[in-house]
Amino acid sequence: MEIIKSINDSINSVVWGVPMLILIIGTGIYFSCRLGFFQLTRFKHVLQMTIFSAFRKNKKEKSENGKSISQFQAMSTALAATIGTGNIAGVATALTIGGPGAVFWMWVSAFFGMMTSFAENVLGVYYRKKNKDGEWAGGAMYYISEGLKEKKIVKHFAKPLSVLFALFCALASFGIGNMSQVNAIAVSLENSFNIPPLAVGIVIAVIVGFILLGGVKRIGAVAEKIVPFMAIIYIILTLSVVVINIESIPSVFSSIFRNAFGLSAIGGGVSGAVVKNAITMGFKRGVFSNEAGLGSAVIVNSVSDVKEPVGQGMWGVFEVFFDTIVVCTLTAFTVLSTGVLETSKLEGSALVGEAFAGVFGNVAGMILAVSITLFAFTTILGWSFYGTKSVEYLFGKKATVIYKIVFSLFIVAGAAMNLSLVWEISDTLNALMAIPNLMGVLLLSGQVVKITRNYIDRKIKDKKIEPILSADIEIQFEQEGR
């Protein structure tokens, strides 16, 4: 075990070092510049075409072939995977290590991460394929293999890179998307309700197994019901704490900006160590939370019933905005506005629990346990789909049955184990996923820009030009006489 930990620490220190964070954030900056800061200049349009549109039309509207899911379901499933224990425990840890300034750099990572997620989704829809059952199959592995094979210099690396991504994603689904999440559920429920961890693992395994048997349609149907509910409840709870401590908000903002740039409250000095910790923890928390750059969320976004690549790209912008700018920020403000960061010795989710206790008293632990259970459970669902599609890409659709069985068994094991090493290995696998994904996204950036400008010209500037859609969509339209 110690040997494995030592090897993982060595790999993790390399892949999650400063160069990796620069690569991830730099990709977002690159697309922001090339697309005229689309996430800012077109943000009103993004909201109109995403979350507001969900209230204007029936979310449950059936897709044309009955094999895909709605854009809202795809977004819900993607948020299910990204909104997890990291939005609670991860943010608290970032504050403990990086200080209040980590929040500012988390915002920065999310601002630019919106465009990384946008680019991933545009490519995911453009290069997606139909499998033998008529279902959409897409994700980083598809745009890496299909897109890069058209590039002369790197075409020989297209297939190996896509295989590596799918392999790392499938393995990561057992860590960050399974054992670590169910363990968090088991610990919180045992502490709050004295429910045995093994019983928790068995129940969750049965429920997840049943949902997995229904495929993406059932996952999407469950996600679109649970995710909005859990998000609204958590927003109400955290906002309640913040509103009750509203007088401290000006000092919270002050501490965030002062700490972000290492400005000492005494003498106005600048601390390089404070800035480094704030930037590192803020960027890591942002990336780990919204997964922009990892290439994971695009797997489910690619199977929606959308026809416009940019249409799903805008849902990617909203996902990052909601996950990090809204949910993570509310967690941070809950901790900072109550002052527990300075007065408590607790860490992680326990720190958030103490912040809740100041408002909700003895039921704070139960509230936190329920929040963690919902967040972690939906993460398990989202990542189970990522793993399923990765295994399908590597070994074919028949192999997914075995994957689903093994995935469910790992849930039971994860509930009763000490998983500190699993968390560390998961971080490493996430970074290893990001490398081939970002290579593909950057090398195909010209395609993203071309598709986006075509969309802006048609939908916003009202020019009469032909749309750029995925090859499969175009063929389908021709067959249907459209």
User: What is the predicted pLDDT for the residue at 273?
Assistant: 66
Q: How far is 67 from 303, CA to CA, in rounded Å?
A: 9
Two tokens, residue 206: 């049965």
Q: How far is 343 from 346, CA to CA, in rounded Å?
A: 9
Count CB neighbours of 36 within 10 A.
13
SS3 for 193-258 is: HCCCHHHHHHHHHHHHHHHHHCHHHHHHHHHHHHHHHHHHHHHHHHHHHHHHCHHHHHHHHHHHHH
Q: How would you label 354-367 residue by residue, b for 16+ Cβ within 10 Å and e otherwise?
A: bbbbbbbeeebbbb
Task: Enumerate the β-bridge partners of residue 407.
Answer: none
User: What is the predicted pLDDT for the residue at 423?
Assistant: 62
Count CB neighbours of 44 within 10 A.
9
Helix then strand count (H, E) for the chain reads 25, 2
Q: How far is 44 from 201, CA to CA, in rounded Å?
A: 43
Query: Which CATH code fits 14-454?
Result: 1.20.1740.10
Distance linking the first and last C-alpha atoms of the chain: 60
SS3 for 131-187 is: CCCCCEECCHHHHHHHHHCCCCCCHHHHHHHHHHHHHHHHHHHHHHHHHHHHHHHHH
Burial of 267 (0-12, 13-18, 19+ CB in 10 A): exposed
Domain boundaries, the chain: 14-454
- Residue 71 contacts residue 305 (beta carbons within 8 Å): yes
| DSSP-derived secondary structure letter, 461 | S
Q: How far is 44 from 20, CA to CA, in rounded Å?
A: 31
In one letter, which amino acid is 95? L
Can you give the pLDDT of all 482 residues of the chain as single tens digits? 555 556 555 555 555 566 777 888 899 999 999 999 999 999 999 998 887 876 665 444 444 445 566 767 776 777 776 777 778 888 888 888 888 889 999 999 999 999 999 999 999 999 988 877 777 888 999 999 988 988 888 888 999 999 999 999 999 888 878 888 888 888 888 888 888 989 999 999 999 888 888 777 788 788 778 888 888 888 998 999 999 999 999 999 999 998 888 765 444 445 566 677 777 777 777 777 777 888 888 998 888 878 889 999 999 999 999 989 999 999 999 999 998 888 888 777 888 888 888 888 888 888 888 888 888 888 888 888 899 999 999 998 889 889 999 998 889 888 877 656 566 666 677 778 888 999 999 999 999 999 999 999 999 988 888 888 875 544 343 333 33
User: What is the predicted pLDDT for the residue at 144?
Assistant: 93
User: What is the predicted pLDDT for the residue at 87?
Assistant: 83
Place of tokens 């029936």: 58
- Residue 368 contacts residue 325 (beta carbons within 8 Å): no
Kindly state the helix (H) or strand (E) to which residue 129 belongs, with its residue range.
strand 129-130
Q: Phi then psi for 35, rounded to 5 degrees?
A: -110, 25
Two tokens, residue 443: 């090398």
Two tokens, residue 345: 């010795």
From the list 82, 89, 73, 139, the residue with the least C-alpha distance to 110 is 82
Two tokens, residue 393: 């890409």
